[in-house]
Structure 1
Amino acid sequence: MDVDVLLDHAASTPPRPEARAALQRWLDAANASATHAAGQAARVAVEQAREQVAAGLRCSPHEVVFTSGGTEADNLALKGIVWAARERSSGPVHLVTTGVEHPAVLGPARWLAERGDVALTVVAPDPDGRVPVERVLDAVRADTCLVSVMTANNELGAVNAIADLGPSLRERGVPLHTDAVQAVATLDVDVTAWQVAALSASGHKFGAPQGVGVAVLRRGLPVVPLTHGGGQDRGVRSGTFAAGLDAAFGAAIEAAVADRSEVRARLRALGDRLADGLLGLDGVRRNGPSAAAHRLPSHVHVSLDGVDGAALTLALDRAGIAASSGAACGSGAATASPVLEACGVVGTPLRLSLGWTSTEAEVDRALDVFGDVVPRLRRRQPAAHGA
């Protein structure tokens, strides 16, 4: 990445050395479904990666399905579980999700509702971006076939109480899906203890290459496949195994889990240093949960008064600082964030996110640039400052 300081790890973090090595080793792998020795060696690599993922997410290897990323995993969970419920039901089915979900969840949820496949309830968040467990439970009905609540929000970094929600829903016989894409890098993800029925993760958020993710699907959970073909991966996701990418995912999650405690503590300190420096500037407010336990240590989300967002990110980019005015999950169009609108966030938003390679020197360099750029941009539009 040709930048001096990367403050957009939430969009994509650099691959870990272990992932690079695994990808290189299996880049020329044979087809893992072939019966010859080369094919079986590739299949062993895939299954070893599956075991690494299961250990990292605390689930059974038989529950791990490799995907192309978090978006496919989310779509597989929502569409697959809803369609399976419709096949078993003599009447309508109901889906509950929240207003702070990633588009990879809200998109298919609304698509299913528009098709008439499901009745949809979208639960509103609190202003800090968290969704109260009680509010979600209150939305559950007798015909609810699935609840989908993200573990941690990709913009504000707000962490939801999945460990409380999962057991409560399971007592009611309602499966819970959680998008844990932003959580794996810094949170102790535990599929078994959380009692979730489905979970989504994406490799490039914690040190695997782009293009690989996983869907964890509880054994016995009915899921209609999105793709049909050779019946690979339990028949849930047909297609040739991407042995190199799968192996890299396994290596990355093993490395991420091994140093997660150290990375979490380091990023918490760096995030506080970054936030304190930014809040020392006039007209800057921090968004998201105030309690450290309720937000990702990697995320610092602020609003600035009197600064144009496009001009700010461009000025930062020219200074070698990669930052984001929103989530990197769309086509690149500059549109208002539904998450920030749902939380009532005002002002020019800026998401700064740290990762496993972040250093104190990078944070200090970024603060120096902010101290120069923000006042300079405000001088160009004095009427907007303080509005």
Structure 2
Amino acid sequence: MIFLDAAATTPVRREVIEAMFPYLTGDFGNPSSHHELGERAALAIGRARSDIAELLDCRPGEVVFTSGGTEADNLAVKGIALARRAARASRNRVLISALEHPAVQESAEYLARMHGFQLETIPVDRSGLIDGDIFSSMLDDDVALASVMYANNEIGTVQPIAELAALAAQHGVPLHSDAVQASGWLALKLPALGVHALSISGHKFGAPKGVGALILRSRTLAEPVIHGGGQQSGLRSGTENVAFAVALAKALQLAEQEREAAFERVSRLRDDFIDSVLSRVPQAVLTGARGAQRLPSIASFCFPGTHGESVLLELERQSIICSSGSACAAGSSEPSAVLLAIGLSAEVAQSAVRFSLPSAVSAEELAQAADAVVAAVRNLGRLGR
């Protein structure tokens, strides 16, 4: 099997399992308990928070552990918008890009439906990129929050986040960025990015499923989404998952150590794979931006005249594991909102196939995958001989 669905999830790294194991066994204490076992757990949480803060160039108190990227997005979008409107009633607008993950999209729709916010979509071009001038024209003092995904999970387009954050700052608007797919591939130093909030999810870079974090800059107003015991400065109540927090910190540390070398190597392999598919499947359409404006790990195509699910089945018969888009939309019969947003027709959008590359992918595996794509489309009767 050749696994090319790393945007959906990655295996837990052995080093991560070893780091978290003590907190699943002997050091199992509740970090809120005031005895030795609890204090050891609290110390582990504190070290994990400090390690993540050092890697992201933020303060330890700005790291809020969550159950994953979805919860982090919910806390950022709902929490910041509600708190800022509570501070000033005229802040009633929420801006999100046309490419956002459902966790951001549906959180924003909830604000519009249940709290009367005005939701507006920031358009993108055919590559999926936001135009800074258009974004700037949408900003004013009544915007409670803007949210722009750093790197898209379906087409791989990387947004100029630092530029957009600077534009938002001119109007005093906090920018949240879903960096779930960017983690492990792109630099996430917060001062350089300029964002007020950043979401990450551990299982995208070698930690277990079920842990993530929201990095929320100091003095950024936010209402909690989960209420209870007041843990994590009241921003996210509930007994902290010590073992998974340790796992997140270790996985992020390993990913950052390997990031630059992986970026360069996988970018070259990705480009070779894209060129091979485009040259051998004449009707193939590459989706997303090219070069540095694309994640190294994403090669996404539409194959007009086919159905994406049919191509996937053909590829799986040849031991190539990939997807038709976001794992969060698996099983949906609707065309991808991301592909519609970049101007593709519904029919073409339903022919989408996404290859998301692990950092350890080899040239031989991608050559085999390219051969499988050609064979799959031919077997469906769509490739001219």
| Amino acid paired to 2:287 | N
2:18 aligned residue (18, 21, 31)? 21
Q: Could you tell me the TM-score, scaled by structure 1's length?
A: 0.94
Tell me which residue corresponds to 2:6: 9
SS of residue matched to 2:95: strand
Please give the residue correspondences for 1:282-361 in structure 2 after superposition, counting only pairs within 5 Å.
282=281, 283-290=283-290, 292-330=291-329, 332-346=331-345, 347=348, 348-361=351-364
Distance 1:378 1:204 in 2: 37
Please give the residue correspondences for 1:74-89 in structure 2 after superposition, counting only pairs within 5 Å.
74-89=73-88
Q: Displacement of 1:256 after TM fit?
A: 0.3
Tell me which residue corresponds to 1:369: 372
Q: Displacement of 1:91 after TM fit?
A: 3.5
Conserved? CA contact 1:59–1:191, under 8 Å: yes
> What RMSD, in angstroms, separates the aligned Cα atoms of the two structures?
1.7
Conserved? CA contact 2:69–2:180, under 8 Å: yes
Give aligned pairs, total.
Answer: 378
Conserved? CA contact 1:86–1:117, under 8 Å: no
| Cα deviation code 1:354-377 (max 9, x no counterpart) | 122322222122123223222111
Distance 1:278 1:300 in 2: 10
Identity of aligned residues (%): 39
| Amino acid paired to 1:161 | P
Distance 2:175 2:331 in 1: 31
Please give the residue correspondences for 1:1-387 in structure 2 after superposition, counting only pairs within 5 Å.
4-28=1-25, 29-91=28-90, 93-282=92-281, 283-290=283-290, 292-330=291-329, 332-346=331-345, 347=348, 348-378=351-381
Distance 1:170 1:248 in 2: 34
Distance 1:37 1:255 in 2: 30
Distance 2:250 2:201 in 1: 13
Conserved? CA contact 1:287–1:345, under 8 Å: no
| Cα deviation code 1:22-61 (max 9, x no counterpart) | 2323223211111111211111111111122112222111
Q: Could you tell me the TM-score, scaled by structure 2's length?
A: 0.94
| Cα deviation code 1:233-268 (max 9, x no counterpart) | 111000011011111000000000001011111111
Conserved? CA contact 1:155–1:301, under 8 Å: yes
- Distance verdict in 2 for CA 1:313–1:88, change over 3 Å: same
Q: Displacement of 1:92 after TM fit?
A: 5.1
Long gaps (5+) in structure 1: none
Greater than 3 Å deviation, 4+ residue runs: none
| Cα deviation code 1:69-90 (max 9, x no counterpart) | 0000000001101111221123
Conserved? CA contact 1:151–1:180, under 8 Å: yes
Q: Displacement of 1:280 after TM fit?
A: 2.3
